[in-house]
Amino acid sequence: MYQSLEEAVRDIWGREARIQSRRSVSGGDINEAYLLLLSNGKEAFLKLNSNAADNFFTAEAHGLEAMGEAGANVPKILASGNTSEGARFLLLNYEKASRPARDYWPLLGEMLAGMHLANTERFVEGDVFGFREDNFIGATVQKNNPKPGWIEFFRDARLGVQMKLADRYFDKSDRNLCRRMLDHLGDFLLEPKFPSLLHGDLWSGNVMPDRDGHPMLIDPAVYVGHHEADLAMTELFGGFAPAFYDAYHERIPKEPGYADRRDIYNLYHLLNHLNLFGSSYLASVRRILKRYAG
């Protein structure tokens, strides 16, 4: 881990390399993001966060590396560390977004299915579901303690954690619904036929066209779980193009009852939004709790 951004630049591009300019670009709600122009003409994408945990960007880098190992198109990781001012940074290869290729959505469906079908043994130490380290879902710590069963993992490391964090928003009725849902989660979810490496935060803002117009996955919250959890989130904020789902299901057929499980998977993300952004998400959380545990 580098102790300054300048040290990283010199190590990657040579002792004479310097940051010539830094231009603010879009980079999400949590981090500052910049396009760096270097003295040698090279460009790089910089993410900065002054308030994040020390491992915030190293966890993101490890997630990108894991997705790349599983066959996904991801940005090249250049360096991570702390700036001389004490902020955390992640330096990535700059991918100038182009217009999506004509087959962008089918390519994304095929790529995601391939990632979901990849062998996951190297990503989890000990059991089947989880990840080899904790990481982050937005700004929230995402616990990835491995478990032998998917339903057990989703109950203990996903819904249970977020429900505990959201307790300040809940009344007695909400708490009773949460307990009933956790106690009966096995009535609603299925163990997967195979474990999958998941992006973990797969909405349209975390997919972009690379310089060739091909889909690229960014900003992951990876773990090994049920592939339906990734699919469910693609539908949470409007959904992807139909060609994406057609291509995906050519490789991984849709299992009966998926539509009944989708909201439970998305409850995790709605709870996280409730914890990060406030009570405007409480009605959506209550709707799902009442549907399954009311």
Task: Tell me if residue 201 is catalytic.
Answer: yes
Do the Cβ atoms of 198 and 220 come closer than 8 Å?
Answer: no
Question: Among 276, 259, 257, which Cα is nearest to 268's?
Answer: 276
Which H/E stretch holds residue 19? Answer: strand 19-24
- What CA–CA distance (Å, rounded) separates 133 from 114? 23
Collapsed DSSP state (helix, strand, coil) of residue 138: coil
What are 267's two structure tokens? 């409850």
Q: With b meaning 16 or more CB within 10 Å and e meaning fewer, what string describes 154-179?
A: bbbbbbbbbbebbeebbeeebeebbe
Query: Exposure of 253 by Cβ count < 10 A (0-12 exposed, 13-18 middle, 19+ buried)?
Result: exposed
- What CA–CA distance (Å, rounded) separates 78 from 44? 9
- What CA–CA distance (Å, rounded) separates 110 from 108? 5
- What CA–CA distance (Å, rounded) separates 221 from 281? 21
Q: How many beta carbons lie within 10 A of that of residue 116, not counting itself?
A: 27
Q: Which is the catalytic residue, given 54, 127, 171, 201? A: 201
Q: Active-site residue numbers?
A: 201
